[in-house]
Amino acid sequence: MKYMTAEPFRIKVVEKLKKSTKKERLEYLKTAQYNAFRLKAENVYVDCLTDSGTSAMSNEQWSALMLGDESYAGCKSFYKLEKSAQDVFGMPYIQPTHQGRAADYIMAQIYAKKGFYAIGNMHFDTFRGNAEMLGALAVDYVINEGAKANDQYHPFKGNIDLNKMQSLIDEKGKENISVVIITVTCNNNGGQPVSMQNIREVSTLAKKHDIPVVIDSARLAENAYFIQQREEGYKNTPIKEITREMFSYCETATMSAKKDGMVNMGGLFITRNKEVFEVANQLAIAHEGFITYGGLSGRDLEALAVGLQEGCEESYLEYRTNQVKYLGDRLKEFGVPIIEPTGGHGVYVDGRKFFPQIPQSEFPSQRLVVALYEEAGVRAVELGACAFGSKDPETGAPIWPELETMRIAISRRVYTNSHMDVIANALGDIYKNREKYKGMKLVYEGKITSLRHFTAGFELL
């Protein structure tokens, strides 16, 4: 294996990238009010805003597109997807949706209830938004090691803290908790995995109190790979055996297929509970499309059927996690503070440690996003004071989040390690000159604070 550590694929089609000048980028930034979401993608050199829907499909996926059966009901493509998803999840009932948040919507309608608690490691925004609209109380109970951006090693920083979960059950009563949602990997704190032991123990505790367990499985294969690499007893277990065991502990799973499904669009709602499935089918008919296409075209279903299998290939997962680690290691060489160990889908830079002179009220991680784009045309995303900040409902006083990071999300099978070097070298330079940077002022946020990072406007201080 000594000579076989590079990409387990070769490149058949390329997409040209535009290189801009620093002067041009300063103009683009001004026009975008210093919000990376508002930049035009054509003006980005290496796009690390997200790993969602940005994967390169394989030749097998592209050829599967031609097999797409576009029949309204009972199309052939659905049965291929059903078989593939059953194989990965080990669960019987499969409802496609147009993307992950549509599955979140259906799941929230079924499992979130007004005035009831929804426990999670760290809920992703789209479930949280749905839950809050329904009046549910979404709480994050990730273990303390995962609640802070730090370089302290823990193999499974996405784990749920069982003591916190038990305390809520004792304090509020099991009848006031409607669901536990485990997000694998945990996106908000660094793409950090959840161990099999934790999934099992959370499930046992929940079952004891009749609380259903749901797994948000956007990055299920990356999580399974970390279990194989880091958890005792799984070294020789094939990835799909691991995924099937993970899902044996839950009633229902949602998936944004735009991540480990290796497709540009798609989602899944999967369950072992027939009654839940029937409700999901009707919600899908009302909001997504008929049961067997759920808002996707036949060709999308075909690409996902193939992509789910490719996402679980061990050689791919080894390359994938190694590329993320490579970027993390290069950044560490420059002394750049990152969340360690690196997770599945990106490197998260600690904004507070990077710019200690910039308080959270002046958005240090957002400042870093702007600096990185200005320096090298690389687009990352803030996950800190802007994205997770909130306001006291009574006084309107700002509440700053514990986590203050810039996420550099790595698209699947898209960039080479030379692109990783561009990112690392640029951040290394910014880090050398870090003292000269000042913060930012939020000048526009829109009505819904929890969604402001998509549309916010800033000025440089």
# chain residues binding ligand F0G, by CB under 6 A? 15
Residue 423 CB, shortest distance to ligand F0G, in Å, is 17
What is the DSSP annotation of 289-344?
-STTTTT--HHHHHHHHHHHHHHT-HHHHHHHHHHHHHHHHHHHHTT--B-SS--S
User: For this structure, is 259 an active site residue?
Assistant: yes
What is the DSSP annotation of 73-133?
SS-HHHHHHHHHHHHHH--SEEEEESSHHHHHHHHHHHH--TT-EEEESS--HHHHHHHHH
Nearest CB to ligand F0G, comparing residues 48 and 442: 48
Q: Tokens standing for 103?
A: 């599955």
Q: Does residue number 264 form part of the binding site for ligand F0G (CB under 6 A)?
A: no
Q: Does residue number 25 form part of the binding site for ligand F0G (CB under 6 A)?
A: no
- Pick from 316, 269, 358: nearest CA to 8: 316
Residue 192 CB, shortest distance to ligand F0G, in Å, is 12
Residue 4 CB, shortest distance to ligand F0G, in Å, is 31
Q: Which residue is nearest to ligand F0G (CB)?
A: 100
Q: Would you say the C-alpha torsion 180, 182, 188, 189 has a positive or negative sign?
A: positive
Instruction: Bin 335: left if φ > 0, else alpha if -120 < ψ < 50, else beta.
Output: left
User: For this structure, is 105 an active site residue?
Assistant: no
Q: Does residue number 100 form part of the binding site for ligand F0G (CB under 6 A)?
A: yes
Residue 108 CB, shortest distance to ligand F0G, in Å, is 12
- Pick from 141, 127, 242, 240: nearest CA to 195: 242
- Pick from 194, 186, 191, 185: nearest CA to 159: 194
Q: Does residue number 252 form part of the binding site for ligand F0G (CB under 6 A)?
A: no
Q: Would you say the C-alpha torsion 217, 132, 105, 256 has a positive or negative sign?
A: negative
Among 82, 140, 216, 260, binds ligand F0G (CB under 6 A): 216
Report how far residue 209's alpha carbon sits from residue 192's, in angstroms, rounded to the nearest whole number: 27
User: For this structure, is 87 an active site residue?
Assistant: no
Q: Does residue number 101 form part of the binding site for ligand F0G (CB under 6 A)?
A: yes
End-to-end Cα spacing for the chain: 52
Q: Does residue number 456 form part of the binding site for ligand F0G (CB under 6 A)?
A: no
Q: Tokens standing for 199?
A: 């999934």
Residue 171 CB, shortest distance to ligand F0G, in Å, is 27
Q: Does residue number 99 form part of the binding site for ligand F0G (CB under 6 A)?
A: yes
User: Which one of 36, 102, 138, 218 is the catalytic residue?
Assistant: 218
Among 58, 121, 256, 323, binds ligand F0G (CB under 6 A): 256
Binding segment (CB under 6 A) for ligand F0G, from list 39-47, 100-108, 204-212, 279-287: 100-108
Q: Does residue number 267 form part of the binding site for ligand F0G (CB under 6 A)?
A: yes
Binding segment (CB under 6 A) for ligand F0G, from list 80-88, 99-107, 157-165, 300-308: 99-107
Cβ–Cβ under 8 Å, residues 334 and 428: yes
Q: Does residue number 187 form part of the binding site for ligand F0G (CB under 6 A)?
A: yes
Strand 177-183 versus strand 117-120 pairing type: parallel
Nearest CB to ligand F0G, comparing residues 257 and 430: 257
Residues 27-56 touching ligand F0G, rule: CB under 6 A, are: 50, 52
Please give the single-letter amino acid code of residue 254: T
Among 157, 258, 330, 434, binds ligand F0G (CB under 6 A): 258
Report how far residue 230's alpha carbon sits from residue 153's, in angstroms, rounded to the nearest whole number: 12
Q: List the x/- string, 346-385, binding to ligand F0G by CB under 6 A.
A: ----------------------------------------
Total H helices, total E strands in the chain:
18, 16
User: For this structure, is 125 an active site residue?
Assistant: yes
Q: Tokens standing for 234?
A: 């799984």
Q: List the x/- string, 111-130, binding to ligand F0G by CB under 6 A.
A: -------------x-x----
- Pick from 351, 348, 379: nearest CA to 440: 351
Catalytic residues: 72, 124-125, 216, 218, 259, 453
Residues forming the site for ligand F0G (CB under 6 A): 50, 52, 99-101, 104, 124, 126, 183, 187, 216, 218, 256, 258, 267
